[in-house]
Amino acid sequence: MKYSSIAGTGAYLPERVMANKDFEAMVDTSDEWIRERTGIKRRHIAAEDQTTSDMALEAALKALQMAGVSKEDIDLIIVATTTPDKVFPSTACIVQRRLGVSGFAAFDVHAACAGFIYALDVANRFIKTGGASCVLVIGAETYSRIINWKDRSTCVLFGDGAGAIVLKAADKPGVMSTHIHADGRHEDSLHVPAGISSGYDLVQREEAFIHMKGNEVFRAAVGVLDAIARETLSINGVQPGDIDWLIPHQANLRIISAAAKKLDLPMDRVVVTVDQHANTSSASIPLALDVAVRDGRVQRGDLLLFEAFGAGFTWGSALVRY
């Protein structure tokens, strides 16, 4: 039987940094309020001429370099994003062109903040069924394009960036299992009302930005993340104490802390980057993974639990032997 394993990681963050204090002149908020409610201290914001594919490409190149893989070895590209460069073609196709390769499949996955887990699930299935042997899986977002900078409840939460992994065929499982779910009944809890097929050329400008019912999202995320984590561990016959690192979606430090507490995991075994990156949606898990790999916390053989929750609602998890 074929398995998949993470061969390399990569990340990219825009040069521009916005600290919490930068918002004090824009909306009624403060550095203290943002830190207490979210754990966020700063975030990176894409330059005006910088696109999602720009960041995705940089992260991909770093992942390829770490993996020791040539771009000619890639036989599938999957990009998880909700902020593509264009309506079409896919950001994955744009990345493929910019890498200078062609012929194999390239497509985007849209599952909001759970996008990277969804993309990893798809890539793992391609490898296990023989449809691919070297997959570039990327999470990349420019959420600054869909933020209402006058809405203090959302503008302080998000940042831009990209993370990538090279997933290769292996003789033993690296990706032990993936689990993805959705419940579309909660569409209005976290969404961008304007859409391509709903008159986006006529819609009021504020409808093209993120709208969120924060309390509803918080309550749902805490409950669902605990359930998906226990589902994943149970299927694999693993106890919470066996996990070396929990690498969750980086949305809010309170959500992350609550998820760790429910698993009886100390915070020193949780990778946290939300303070430096804010919520980068589908980019947050691969960004956090790359940080932990490059600073030496995550070592080969470590058991990792990824978990994410996002608009849709969508949610997912993966148990990975790095």
Same domain (yes/no): 85, 165: yes
Which letter does DSSP use for residue 90 in this model? -
Cα separation values, 3 from 63, 132, 185, 237, 321, Å: 19, 11, 35, 18, 11
Instruction: Tell me whether the omega of the peptide bond preceding residue 104 falls within 30 degrees of 0, making it cis.
Output: no
pLDDT score, position 204: 67
pLDDT tens, position by position, 219-236? 999 999 999 999 999 999
**Pairing mode of beta strands 76-80, 134-142:** parallel
Query: Any residues with CB less than 8 A from the CB of 40 and at least 6 apart, and which?
Result: 20, 34, 156, 157, 253, 274, 275, 278, 279
Which residue ranges in the chain fall short of pLDDT 70?
199-204
H or E element, residue 166: strand 160-170
Same domain (yes/no): 183, 301: yes
d(CA 302, CA 322): 5
Q: How many domains does the chain have?
A: 2
Domain final residue, candidates 139, 172, 205? 172
Structural domain range at position 232: 176-321
CA dihedral 212, 189, 92, 94 (to 10 degrees): -40
pLDDT score, position 5: 98
Same domain (yes/no): 146, 222: no
Same domain (yes/no): 217, 149: no
H or E element, residue 181: strand 175-182
pLDDT score, position 207: 86
Which letter does DSSP use for residue 27 in this model? S
Domain final residue, candidates 132, 153, 172? 172
Same domain (yes/no): 152, 198: no
pLDDT score, position 199: 65
Please report how the helices 52-67 and 284-294 are oriented relative to each other, as an axis angle in degrees rounded to 10. Answer: 40
Same domain (yes/no): 166, 250: no
H or E element, residue 108: strand 105-109
Same domain (yes/no): 257, 310: yes
Q: Is 39 helix (H, G, I), strand (E, B) or coil?
A: coil
Q: Which amino acid would we find at residue 140? A: A
Same domain (yes/no): 49, 68: yes
88: tokens are 């079409």
pLDDT tens, position by position, 134-153? 999 999 999 999 999 999 99
**Would you say 96 and 264 are in contact if contact means Cβ atoms under 8 Å apart?**
no
Same domain (yes/no): 139, 216: no
Question: Active-site residue numbers?
Answer: 113, 249, 279
Q: Which amino acid would we find at residue 129? A: T
In the β-sheet with 314-321, what is the strand arrangement from edge to edge? 175-182, 314-321, 303-310, 245-248
Same domain (yes/no): 165, 244: no
Same domain (yes/no): 161, 187: no
d(CA 262, CA 230): 10
d(CA 226, CA 231): 9
- CATH code at position 40: 3.40.47.10
Same domain (yes/no): 69, 143: yes
Cα separation values, 296 from 43, 73, 139, 315, Å: 23, 27, 22, 28
H or E element, residue 52: helix 52-67
Domain final residue, candidates 172, 200, 221? 172
pLDDT tens, position by position, 149-204? 999 999 999 999 999 999 999 999 999 999 999 999 999 999 999 888 876 666 66
φ, ψ (nearest 5 deg) of residue 267: -65, -20
Residue 272 has a CB neighbour count (10 Å cut-off) of 21
**Pairing mode of beta strands 76-80, 42-45:** unpaired
**Would you say 291 and 271 are in contact if contact means Cβ atoms under 8 Å apart?**
yes
